[in-house]
Amino acid sequence: MIELRDVAYSYGGGELFSGLSLVLAPGSFHFLTGPSGAGKTTLLKLCYGDLVPTAGEVALFGETTRGMARDGLALTRRRIGVVHQDCQFLDHLSVAENVALPLSVAGRRAEAEAYLPDLMAWVGLNRQAGRRPPELSGGERQRAALARAVIMSPDVIIADEPTGNIDWEMSQRLLALLVELNRMGKAVLIATHDLNLIRAAKAQVAARTLRLKGRQLMMAGAEL
Ligand SMILES: Nc1ncnc2c1ncn2[C@@H]1O[C@H](COP(=O)(O)OP(=O)(O)OP(=O)(O)O)[C@@H](O)[C@H]1O
């Protein structure tokens, strides 16, 4: 579904990484780790077409992102749900309206209304649905961001440090949701520093751990 072939990326200075290849198959579960600044967020952005590689190719559902027209890219991106590191919301809208935003923007407001109650219940936020985003705790924000990422029924979920600022219990809850999505057949890719989270996940799913270090992507050892 997502394939990186011999990819390099540079923001203008030296290359962050090069010769990097990766395939995210349907139903796969990957973690991405590596030191701060190694390029994890950059790699995720390449995977969802927010950045185009400076060398090599990224193919999303069989189509390379280089030269993809804006409309085509926007349509393809609907098949990838992204939970961003800072998970920003529109503070003048309710939590439920924020979660429904991708569907509303796509002109599918009726579907959003039909689907929202179940989705809010699934992430455990029914009681918070009418609140404004600034009233949410860190863990609630992450779950709202996950709900927003899955409302378009994407085939792939990409999450950047989803448990960065939340406690262990809440991390476990978020992980359980991601595992459930994976069991429904969705490919999951999570960038994280949290080795305990990776260990907890490996007890539940066949997750692979990729490590970005020294400009290269490696499969992490069995100790993780
Ligand atoms: N828009 C940008 N312009 C120039 N340099 C950038 C830009 N975004 C990121 N960088 C640089 O690229 C490098 C990799 O950044 P990136 O955010 O991908 O790393 P990361 O592994 O996700 O880090 P962290 O774990 O701290 O979130 C860093 O040195 C960063 O300063």
Complex ipTM value: 0.96
For ligand 1, pick from 17, 42, 85, 163 the residue to mutate: most ligand atoms within 8 Å of CB: 42
Tens of pLDDT, residues 62-77: 999 998 888 888 889 9
Structure tokens, 84: 């961003």
With a 6 Å cutoff on the Cβ, whether 10 touches ligand 1 is: no
Which tops the pLDDT comparison, 210 or 110? 210
Look at residues 61, 50, 64, 48 and name the one whose alpha carbon lies nearest to residue 6: 64
Give span(s): CATH 3.40.50.300, the chain: 1-79+154-218
Q: 171 — phi, psi (to 5°)?
A: -60, -40
Phi, psi angle pair for 148, to nearest 5°:
-65, -35
Q: Which whole-number Å values give the CA distances from 90 to 59, 94, 127, in the listed order?
A: 31, 8, 19
Cα–Cα distance, 26 to 23 (Å, whole number): 10
AA identity, residue 48: Y
Check whether domain 1-79+154-218 has CATH 3.90.180.10, yes or no:
no
Q: Show Cβ contacts of residue 217 under 8 Å, excluding neighbours closer than 6 positions.
A: 17, 20, 21, 22, 43, 210, 211
| Predicted TM-score (pTM) of this structure | 0.93
Verify whether ligand 1 is closer than 6 Å to residue 84 (CB atom): no
Pocket of ligand 1, candidates 7, 16, 51, 52: which has the most ligand atoms within 8 Å of its Cβ, to mutate?
16
Nearest C-alpha neighbor of 78 from the set 136, 157, 15, 142: 157
> Does ligand 1 come within 6 angstroms of the Cβ of 13?
no
pLDDT tens digits for 100-155?
Answer: 999 898 888 888 888 899 999 999 999 999 999 999 998 899 999 999 999 999 99
For residue 38, the CA-to-ligand 1 centroid distance in Å is: 7
Is residue 76 within 8 Å of residue 60, measured between CB atoms?
Answer: yes
